[in-house]
């Protein structure tokens, strides 16, 4: 005992001695912060020096902060940065381009993570916008000052006491350049010099080194695994399940995220077959489109677009078809109209005619007519209806409207809708696609975006009120993903669909700021919706009005139709009972600027004041680390937000090397909604690493309470984003292997997590530890379902079988025929699907985990 005490004492003394020895380094060093003028898409680099003569770049060419202003490509540039150190904090400003009256601001006290940027607007005292060129940051009399040149050749200055709110610009006589020139890696750069504690710089260097090592690991792929594991054979392991150590987990872990991207809504889940049915397409949707897109005329007549006296002000364009008998207006649908023999389709169109037209309307494929009917018309707009009974299946039919006699016909809102929709809903969903979603048994549906939600510019934010009511009164808009949103699939349809598949609705609406990558109506967040009304421009609503819009949504979804006008609209549309909305997302992976924070907090407080039981879903940027992630989480904690939406799209290796990502998360704070995630590419390898991640999510499902893969749908030939979970065309559905991972997880989710351990053993049954490379690639997760079934998920990423002994001692009275689903095959296969069978199980069961596989064993009672 005495000798142990002496040893501990000696150890402590040694540690003490080591810590008092001063390493031969200075307390602080000079740092030079600069950019690369030849490449403005790069950002701030940092070099350090002990003598201000020789400078050592940290991370070589690494940018520690890049400009996040506006769209990718044409913007996100940094010109003439100016960095000032004040106290322990570095403050930076820079010029954004040569035209805007904004500059960028950010700050840091750690150098590795910088605060999400803001872009203050600059005007003179009489509100004249001033382009900001060459901004120079100084501190004068306790105030930050940015002195800059403007296009009029004069100099100006704005000041701020908090680096947030800036004064109007006042004229100054000159701009004194205080930047320094230093040589880094043999090249002379212009920048600013300050000092930093050596420990900070050392930490930064270590962090960058560690990041580089980590990033190399993330690029590991199954392509090299045959070679990597060529000396590994006959793997055997025991799975021990600790029934006594179970914990409650979320029963909402697996959901879906529906965004109208890749033609997911119009031309996708929404069953409408006519494209540009209301002649409202414009070149804002897509540079080449206009009101006539996807329509053509045949015969001697003409096809014109008019806007006078339309069917509704929100639907102002209509077609005028004029000419002799037989003049045709033809719609090509979405890559052709897909119809099935023996099925019926509801045809509807608003028609108006002075000379009593009775147009023939038919579906044709080439010269063959496969369904035919006729419509009547009246002198005033009236919706005419008929049914087209299809005789032959076609995947490339066209809809033809043909004049019955010489004259003219006004035509608008032409709709062809299958009678056979999911659950027979009017204005409903395509059965095959909707069923594919229902088969996943998702516990919630997030909608309508994504970037679609916060939109491209202030005027493109998603307004749910534009999406309800009669279809021709809905106010369609351009889609940030470069096509059109008819909004035929609107909030009523989304909520109804959630109910139809037994999933909770999770609407995610803008936080009063558009997408930070916006390019329409200005750049980036454009200062967000204003708190005060603009006396000269009422096209943009105020934050007060926008808050009301969110409150009205809650009322519409949950209110009592007898007392609430919004709830009455829901009831009038066919849903008397409340939709029982419990959560609302405010914002989507926004830049966590001051502009965002002010608006998010305002909305959250406003919603909580009126509806304290609604859970608010906050947002933490597009990455698993970095400034938006850090600051998004800070705000969520400060504001006591219930749950935070995280997003990451990463290489397969990330999932292998980040299995403990959530084990370290604080359990007391907000919960996590992993709202968008996927591994890059579209093969079995991806499905398997995603399965691996799900086993780790399940272990953490006391804090990670919801997750959804993204994006969900991709119409073949129209994908703006890959990979997607479910590919489709007009008549077929092609789920990716990742779909099956989500489906197996969704159908086999649990409410109780039971810890399990995998131990590798030799042929003699004794422990035979394996390398990290092996152990990281084999994982398990055991959960108990609400009905008491035991579900064992096993992932094997290795190129060889693992013989696994399952020990079920502690779980009794179970059915000896367990259900087994296995997704396995060649890692490059993009069509892999699971196979179902049964497995005979006892207290001890040997199960051969196939190479490259995800197995789900469900033991019923
Ligand atoms: O899922 C596709 C896009 O990825 C989403 O719209 C956006 O939130 C994210 O950047």
Tell how many helices (H) and how many strands (E) occur in the chain.
14, 47
* Catalytic residue, candidates 332, 589, 646, 752: 589
Provide the CA 312 distance to its chain's centre, in angstroms.
34
Q: Work out which ligand 1 atom sits closest to the CA atom of 649.
A: 4
Average pLDDT, the chain: 96
pLDDT at position 9: 44
Distance 745 CA to ligand 1 centre (A): 22
pLDDT, tens only, 17-33: 444 445 788 999 999 99
pLDDT, tens only, 419-466: 999 999 999 999 999 999 999 999 999 999 999 999 999 999 999 999
pLDDT, tens only, 308-321: 999 999 999 999 99
Q: Is the pLDDT score of 2 beyond 60?
A: no
730 ligand 1 Cβ < 6 A: no
Q: What span, in angstroms and rounded, lies between the C-alpha atoms of 850 and 12? A: 50
428 ligand 1 Cβ < 6 A: no
pLDDT at position 17: 43
397 ligand 1 Cβ < 6 A: no
Which residue's CA is minimally distant from atom 1 of ligand 1? Answer: 711
Distance 451 CA to ligand 1 centre (A): 5
pLDDT, tens only, 621-644: 999 999 999 999 999 999 999 999
Instruction: Please name every residue paired with 399 in a beta bridge, in sequence order, or none if there are none.
Output: 331, 363
> What integer is the mean pLDDT of 778-806?
98
Q: What span, in angstroms and rounded, lies between the C-alpha atoms of 94 and 79? A: 6
pLDDT at position 22: 58
| Nearest CA-CA partner of 25 in 240, 177, 205 | 205
Q: What span, in angstroms and rounded, lies between the C-alpha atoms of 821 and 834? A: 6
pLDDT, tens only, 825-834: 999 999 999 9
Distance 857 CA to ligand 1 centre (A): 33
529 ligand 1 Cβ < 6 A: no
* Contact status, residue 736 vs residue 830, Cβ threshold 8 Å: yes
Q: What is the 3-state secondary structure (H, E, C) of 144-159?
A: EEEEEECCCCCEEEEE
Give every CB contact of residue 127 below 8 A, 6+ residues apart in sequence: none
| Nearest CA-CA partner of 253 in 854, 817, 786 | 786
Angle (nearest 5°) at CA 187 between 184 and 193: 45
Q: What span, in angstroms and rounded, lies between the C-alpha atoms of 305 and 308? A: 10
Q: Is the pLDDT score of 13 beyond 60?
A: no
| Nearest CA-CA partner of 508 in 612, 633, 606, 643 | 643
Task: Output the CA–CA distances (angstroms, integers) from residue 659 to 453, 624, 654, 664, 801, in the order listed.
Answer: 31, 13, 9, 11, 22
pLDDT at position 765: 86
260 ligand 1 Cβ < 6 A: no
Distance 716 CA to ligand 1 centre (A): 18
Q: What span, in angstroms and rounded, lies between the C-alpha atoms of 697 and 703? A: 9
* Token digits of residue 694: 């799900």
Q: What span, in angstroms and rounded, lies between the C-alpha atoms of 506 and 673? A: 11
pLDDT at position 15: 44
pLDDT, tens only, 499-543: 999 999 999 999 999 999 999 999 999 999 999 988 777 778 999
Residue 8 banded pLDDT, cuts 50, 70, 90: very low
Distance 616 CA to ligand 1 centre (A): 20
pLDDT, tens only, 702-716: 999 999 999 999 999
Residue 175 banded pLDDT, cuts 50, 70, 90: confident
| Nearest CA-CA partner of 697 in 734, 648, 766 | 648
* Token digits of residue 698: 């399940």
298 is catalytic: no
Which residue's CA is minimally distant from atom 4 of ligand 1? Answer: 450
Provide the CA 708 distance to its chain's centre, in angstroms.
10
Q: What span, in angstroms and rounded, lies between the C-alpha atoms of 651 and 76? A: 24
* Contact status, residue 257 vs residue 712, Cβ threshold 8 Å: yes
Q: What span, in angstroms and rounded, lies between the C-alpha atoms of 656 and 672? A: 20
Provide the CA 29 distance to its chain's centre, in angstroms.
41
Q: Is the pLDDT score of 5 beyond 60?
A: no
Distance 401 CA to ligand 1 centre (A): 39
* Contact status, residue 351 vs residue 380, Cβ threshold 8 Å: no
285 ligand 1 Cβ < 6 A: no
pLDDT at position 538: 76
Rg (CA), the chain: 31
pLDDT at position 301: 95
710 ligand 1 Cβ < 6 A: yes
pLDDT, tens only, 102-113: 999 999 999 999
Which residue's CA is minimally distant from atom 2 of ligand 1? Answer: 711
Q: What span, in angstroms and rounded, lies between the C-alpha atoms of 420 and 464? A: 27
641: number of Cβ within 10 Å: 25
Distance 259 CA to ligand 1 centre (A): 8
Provide the CA 772 distance to its chain's centre, in angstroms.
32
pLDDT at position 10: 45
> What integer is the mean pLDDT of 215-223?
95
587 ligand 1 Cβ < 6 A: no
* Contact status, residue 220 vs residue 214, Cβ threshold 8 Å: no
Q: What span, in angstroms and rounded, lies between the C-alpha atoms of 840 and 23? A: 64
* Complete edge-to-edge strand list for the sheet that includes strand 726-728: 713-715, 726-728, 733-735
Q: What span, in angstroms and rounded, lies between the C-alpha atoms of 149 and 131? A: 8
* Complete edge-to-edge strand list for the sheet that includes strand 756-761: 756-761, 235-241, 802-807, 844-849
| Structural element, H or E, at residue 127 | none
Question: Pairing relation of β-strands 180-184 and 504-509?
Answer: unpaired
> What integer is the mean pLDDT of 590-606?
98
Provide the CA 203 distance to its chain's centre, in angstroms.
32
* Token digits of residue 286: 């897509």
Q: What span, in angstroms and rounded, lies between the C-alpha atoms of 36 and 45? A: 8
622 ligand 1 Cβ < 6 A: yes
Q: For 729, what's the count of Cα atoms within 13 Å in the CB-facing half-sphere? A: 12
pLDDT at position 632: 98
Helix axes 491-500, 431-438, angle to 10 degrees: 50
Which residue's CA is minimally distant from atom 9 of ligand 1? Answer: 450
pLDDT at position 540: 85
């Amino acid at each position: 005992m005495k000798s142990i005490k002496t040893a501990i004492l000696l150890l402590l003394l040694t540690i003490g001695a080591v810590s008092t020895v001063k390493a031969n380094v200075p307390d602080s060093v000079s740092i030079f912060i600069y950019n690369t003028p030849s490449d403005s898409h790069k950002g701030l680099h940092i070099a350090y020096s002990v003598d201000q003569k020789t400078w050592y770049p940290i991370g070589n060419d690494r940018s520690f902060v890049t400009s996040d202003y506006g769209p990718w490509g044409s913007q996100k540039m940094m010109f003439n940065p100016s960095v000032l150190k004040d106290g322990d904090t570095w403050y930076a400003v820079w010029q954004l381009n040569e035209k805007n009256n904004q500059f960028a601001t950010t700050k840091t006290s750690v150098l590795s993570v910088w605060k999400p940027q803001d872009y203050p607007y600059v005007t003179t005292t009489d509100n004249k916008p001033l382009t900001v060129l060459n901004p120079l940051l100084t501190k004068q009399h306790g105030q930050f000052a940015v002195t800059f040149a403007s296009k009029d050749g004069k100099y100006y200055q704005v000041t701020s006491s908090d680096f947030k709110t800036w004064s109007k610009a006042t004229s100054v006589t000159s701009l004194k350049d205080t930047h320094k020139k230093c040589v880094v890696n043999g090249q002379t750069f212009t920048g600013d010099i300050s000092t930093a504690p050596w420990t900070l710089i050392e930490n930064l260097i270590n962090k960058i080194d560690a990041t580089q090592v980590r990033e190399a690991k993330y690029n590991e792929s199954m392509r090299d695994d045959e070679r990597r594991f060529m000396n590994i054979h006959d793997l055997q392991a025991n799975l021990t399940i600790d029934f006594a150590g179970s914990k409650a987990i979320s029963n909402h872990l697996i959901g879906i995220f529906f965004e109208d991207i890749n033609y997911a809504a119009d031309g996708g889940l929404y069953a409408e077959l006519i494209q540009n049915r209301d002649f409202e397409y414009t070149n804002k949707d897509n540079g080449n489109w206009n009101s006539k897109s996807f329509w053509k005329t045949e015969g001697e007549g003409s096809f014109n677009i008019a806007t006078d006296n339309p069917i509704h002000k929100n639907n102002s364009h209509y077609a005028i078809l004029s000419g002799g008998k037989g003049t045709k207006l033809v719609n090509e649908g979405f890559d052709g109209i897909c119809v099935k023999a023996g099925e019926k389709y509801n045809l509807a169109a608003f028609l108006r005619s002075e000379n009593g037209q009775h147009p023939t309307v038919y579906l044709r494929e080439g010269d063959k007519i496969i369904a035919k009917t006729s419509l009547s018309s009246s002198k005033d707009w009236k919706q005419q209806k008929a049914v087209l009974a299809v005789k032959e299946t076609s995947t490339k039919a066209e809809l033809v409207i043909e004049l019955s006699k010489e004259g003219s016909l006004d035509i608008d809102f032409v709709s062809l809708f299958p009678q056979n929709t999911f659950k027979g809903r009017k204005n409903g969903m395509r059965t095959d696609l909707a069923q594919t979603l229902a088969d996943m048994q998702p516990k919630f549906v997030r909608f309508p975006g994504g970037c679609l939600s916060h939109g491209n510019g202030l005027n493109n934010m998603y307004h749910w009120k534009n999406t309800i009511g009669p279809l021709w009164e809905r106010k369609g808009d351009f889609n940030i993903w470069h096509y059109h949103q008819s909004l035929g699939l609107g909030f009523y349809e989304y909520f109804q669909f959630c109910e139809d598949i037994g999933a909770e609705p999770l609407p995610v609406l803008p936080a009063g700021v558009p997408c930070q990558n916006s390019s329409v109506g200005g750049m980036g967040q454009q200062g967000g919706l204003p708190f005060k009304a603009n006396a000269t421009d009422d096209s943009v609503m105020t934050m007060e009005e926008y808050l009301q819009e969110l409150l009205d949504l809650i009322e519409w979804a949950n209110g009592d139709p007898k007392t609430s006008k919004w709830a009455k609209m829901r009831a009038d549309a066919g849903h008397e009972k409340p939709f029982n909305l419990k959560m609302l997302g405010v914002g989507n992976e926004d830049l966590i600027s001051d502009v965002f924070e002010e608006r998010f907090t305002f909305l959250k407080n406003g919603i909580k004041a009126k509806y304290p039981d609604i859970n608010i879903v906050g947002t933490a940027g597009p990455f698993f680390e970095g400034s938006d992630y850090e600051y998004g989480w800070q705000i969520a904690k400060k504001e006591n937000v219930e749950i935070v939406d995280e997003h990451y799209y990463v290489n397969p290796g990330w999932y292998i090397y980040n299995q403990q990502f959530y084990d370290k998360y604080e359990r007391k704070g907000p919960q996590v909604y992993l709202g968008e995630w996927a591994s890059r590419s579209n093969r079995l390898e991806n499905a398997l690493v995603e399965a691996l991640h799900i086993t780790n999510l399940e272990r953490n499902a006391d804090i990670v309470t919801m997750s959804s893969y993204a994006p969900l749908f991709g119409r073949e030939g129209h994908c703006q984003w890959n990979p997607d979970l479910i590919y489709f065309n007009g008549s077929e559905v092609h789920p990716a292997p990742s779909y099956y991972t989500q489906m197996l997880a969704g159908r086999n989710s649990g409410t109780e997590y039971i810890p399990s351990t995998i131990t590798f053993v030799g042929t003699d049954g004794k422990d035979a530890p394996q390398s990290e490379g092996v152990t990281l690639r084999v994982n398990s997760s055991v959960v108990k379902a609400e009905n008491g079934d035991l579900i064992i998920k096993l992932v094997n990423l290795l190129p060889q079988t693992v013989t696994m002994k399952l020990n079920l001692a502690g779980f009794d009275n179970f059915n000896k025929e367990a259900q087994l689903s296995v997704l396995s095959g060649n890692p490059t296969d993009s069509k892999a699907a699971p196979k179902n069978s049964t497995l005979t199980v006892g207290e001890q069961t040997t199960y051969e985990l196939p190479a490259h596989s995800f197995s789900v064993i469900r033991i019923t009672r």
